[in-house]
Amino acid sequence: MENVIIIGSGPAGLTAAIYLSRSGLRPLMITGEKPGGQLVNTDLIENYPGFISIKGADLMVNMLAQAENLKTKVIYESVKNVSKSDIHFEISLCSGEFLRAKSLLVATGVTHKKLCIPGEEKFTNKGVSWCATCDGPLYKGKEVAVVGGGNTAVMEALFLSKLAKKVYLIHRRSSLRAEKIMQERLQLNENIECVWNSEVVEILGEDRVNNIKIKKSNEACCMDMDVSGVFIAIGTNPSSDFLKDIVPFDNEGYILANGTKTECPGIFAAGDIVSSSLKQAIYAAGQGALAARCIEEFLSIR
């Protein structure tokens, strides 16, 4: 029987692991499919206190090393299901193994949204990607498209502009949602061209992507654009399906919590999975620290 199991290994989960380990509770962390969470795919972080800039992967490697140094137990696995009895929680892993715990911290974060258009599934990993830092080097000297209008889309475009011959940033509106400083950097980059009021409606190719169809909002016909890669950055979905019927969700599937406490005693939530989250690394880390304190209090009164 574990004192606490942390599900997820992003900044929220790892910060909680560090605090809980220092309290002597010896937490067990289940990393999920992507150890380190979404930050592993972030090229540069410039708004995390203490660093002028740091690669997302480097930050997460350091946090994981710190947690393990403090005796956090780590399992590189994914959770299939969670069930509750009167005295404990049972966690079913995808491997078939079962674990038991007195308390849980859910810090599973989010997954990337898809366009759900013809060709997207067919060309996944064959020209369609959700991670420029992972796959960008494959498109050196080629023309690529980035779909989206937020911070992530602009960061992807800026990163790809260092490698690709040309980057098209395709957005369905006439202005971006990205932070002002990100938009200023975009405007100064001559290798990026914004395609406004447009949506990608089909991805085409033979063995790999070589063309996309774009529809302008004020035009009936579509236009073709020759590109070798399509990078999709249109938002995320919460990774919360394994908790159905145990904790309440909002309309989009994010966990509803008072601070980090859910309505189910013993289950806590932190990071991007929480409905009210700011979706920022520093906020997730702060929630992880708060969750650790709440878990300590919960276990002390059991």
Q: Catalytic amino acids?
A: 131, 134-135
Nearest residue to 239 (alpha-carbon basis) of 206, 269, 264: 269
3-state secondary structure of 202: strand
Q: How far apart are CA 83 and CA 88, in angstroms?
A: 9
Q: Which of 98, 122, 100, 88 is nearest to 1 (CA)?
A: 100
Q: Residue 124 forms beta bridges with which residues?
A: 128
The upper half-sphere exposure of residue 125, i.e. CA atoms within 13 Å in the direction of its Cβ, equals 0
Element (H, E) at 28: strand 28-30
**Pairing mode, strands 192-195 and 166-170:** parallel
Phi, psi at residue 204, to the nearest 5°? -125, 160
The helix or strand, by DSSP H or E, that contains position 99, with its residue range, turns out to be strand 98-106
